[in-house]
Structure 1
Amino acid sequence: MTGFFHETAFYGSDDDFLALVVPFLEEGLRAGEAALVACTGTNTTLLRGALGRDAAVMYLPAADQYARPSDAIATYRELFHEHTDAGARQMRVVGDVPHPGMGASWNWWARYEVAANRAFADFPVWGLCPYDTRTTPADVLADVVRIHPNIATATGGHEANPGFREGHPCPAQTPDSLERGRPLLELVNPTPAAVREAVGAAITALALTEDNAHDVVYAASEVVTNGLTHGVAPVRVRLWADSSRVVMAVTDQGPGPSDPLAGLLPTTATRSAGLGLWILHRTCDYVSMGRDEDGFTVRVSVGGTA
């Protein structure tokens, strides 16, 4: 196999999970292929018990591997480079991608699933993304079908997915729970310097770490700069907070980046919106982007739990 073979599968019980994943990994191990697993603790325990070949499988803690989509892409690319440089001609990966049924916001993980088709295209990797129908919301399952080119069947088949839609738009953003309250700060068309000063003053009394406070101020400056430079005025900044978490939404009237995956993929650019968005995706606890009737909005969350 050359390139990235991106596949999904659905299961409704532990036995169904094992019936899908164990043959997939065993076939690769028999062929001498590298095997990587980044699953939840429950699924990792099931696989360890069924495979009994820990030395042959690289197990990655899902909480670490899937902390942020951009981090997951970077880590996988490093691992794939290491294996191919060592002579691997094929790799198999099984990963439990986070979703609301696992307590994670879906927008940026849906964007991750779409980005994977491009981010891993240079590597001989067969990636299987199984989704548990007991915990995955119906709208997420529908998105999963539309963004995976291939699908594994319960009978052991691996087929082109008729439900795949190239260029399928990522799901709409979901406003954060903090947005139900009145904004702590609201500005229109501030300069980057003004927004840095205003945001810094607004979060002074919050129980944020020094790193988190820096991330909030940097995010505000970067998103406003992008809105003023690449968007269409007016640029509206709103900020909400509780004692330890900040949510910020920056809205302009432009269409947003031409690349819907901006921020998720590594970039070597030194002067572009893509570089700043990529840094946001590597530092903030959640980033979503999208356009609705209010305009194009970038949302970021820093600190606490979204």
Structure 2
Amino acid sequence: MTRLRPTGDWDGTRLAHEGFVFSADDELVERVVPFVLEGFRRDEPVLVVAGERVRGLLAGNLGSDLGRLTVFAAAETWWRGGHGTLQAYDRDLRALRATAPSWRLAAEPTWLAREDGRVWSRYEAVANRCYDAMPYYSLCLHDARRLPAEVLAAVDRSHPLTWGGTAPAPGPAYEDPAGFLRSVQPAWTERPADAVVGTVTAPVQGRRALSAAVPGDRRARLGDVVLAAHELLVNALRVAAFAELATWTEGDTFVVEVSDGGPGLPDETLGYVPPDPATGPRGMWLAWSLADDAAVRSGPAGTAVRLHFRRHPPGALR
């Protein structure tokens, strides 16, 4: 029999990111329990954040070892939207980095079963880039009995590792984070004929134009729209003498596009990357966090960013 290697040849110096899809309880137990016990043998902090059923299975199989876990928490209360969840996750990772040379995490993002939680696949993809130097093994648990096929396909595309039966193996469907994001962001179509387009040479011009352009039935979003677009205009005017600001409505969505003729973005994933606390918030992160969705087109001839703001019913959570 081949000896089980829960983390393969991982040496604890950089991120290892595995998407583990299971369709039976015993598959989950056989994968996660050895993963946890290996962490104990290596004196690594082991964190488990999962749904109620998964926690119950692990508790029953770990027995007295359950108390050795550094964290054993319910995933159901962790979802705060994509940006809010990742920001809290980022804070916890930085705290661990300050106290442990390496650690491991078994996490079940239960919110992927929700319509509003499926955006998490984008953050899973970006984690491969922004946490590459973090010394931990992230074992992401996905129950095929609960998740739709399109979510499971995104798991395969956003995780560089999968389970090979006795050891982790390269995921054959894994995609570069920027390419993955381009494929799942809103489709980039031609501006409609009735789009309002103007040239902006200072952010204050853009703020004034947007204050007038936001439709009356979504004035409750005015602050979000103006602040998000302001951040993009500031970025655009750092690399170009002027920016173009366009606005239009698609169904129940108000779209803002900011474009420039600069050299292009160094990294199209920046809107999903948490800002470094030492350097303050980044404009794209703030803009993405205020909008309901975003899309990017960038290259040597310039960058265009579209922010989507939906009309939310009164009292609805974003």
| TM-score for the superposition, normalised by structure 1 | 0.71
Q: Does 1:5 align with 2:16?
A: yes
Q: Secondary structure at the match of 2:282?
A: helix
Matched to 1:219, the amino acid is A
* 1:7 and 1:150 in contact (8 A); partners too: yes
C-alpha distance in structure 1 between counterparts of 2:264 and 2:184, whole Å: 14
C-alpha distance in structure 2 between counterparts of 1:285 and 1:22, whole Å: 40
Q: Deviations over 1:6-53 (max 9, x none)?
A: 111111234433333233223323443212233344434444444452
Partner residue of 1:33? Answer: 44
Partner residue of 1:124? Answer: 135
Matched to 2:40, the amino acid is L
C-alpha distance in structure 2 between counterparts of 1:203 and 1:64, whole Å: 35
Matched to 2:169, the amino acid is E
* 1:253 and 1:296 in contact (8 A); partners too: yes
Q: CA deviation at 1:257?
A: 2.5
Partner residue of 2:3? Answer: none
Tell which structure's C-alpha radius of gyration is larger.
Answer: 2
Q: Which region of structure 1 is more displaced relative to structure 2, 109-118 or 190-199?
A: 190-199
C-alpha distance in structure 2 between counterparts of 1:147 and 1:109, whole Å: 10
* 1:3 and 1:121 in contact (8 A); partners too: yes
Partner residue of 1:159? Answer: 169
Q: Secondary structure at the match of 2:134?
A: coil
* 2:228 and 2:287 in contact (8 A); partners too: yes
Unaligned runs of 5+ in 2: 1-11
Match of 2:247 among 237, 247, 252: 237
* 2:50 and 2:110 in contact (8 A); partners too: no
Partner residue of 2:116? Answer: 104
Partner residue of 2:257? Answer: 250
Q: Secondary structure at the match of 2:248?
A: strand
* 2:296 and 2:306 in contact (8 A); partners too: yes
Partner residue of 1:179? Answer: none
Q: CA deviation at 1:156?
A: 4.1
Going from structure 1 to structure 2, the CA distance change for 1:259 and 1:168 (only over 3 Å counts) comes to closer
Q: Deviations over 1:96-141 (max 9, x none)?
A: 34776432364x5343223222332333201011223234444443
* 2:129 and 2:177 in contact (8 A); partners too: no
Q: Secondary structure at the match of 1:169?
A: helix
Q: Does 1:287 align with 2:293?
A: yes
Going from structure 1 to structure 2, the CA distance change for 1:196 and 1:237 (only over 3 Å counts) comes to same
Match of 1:82 among 74, 92, 95: 95
Q: Which region of structure 1 is more displaced relative to structure 2, 129-138 or 59-68?
A: 59-68
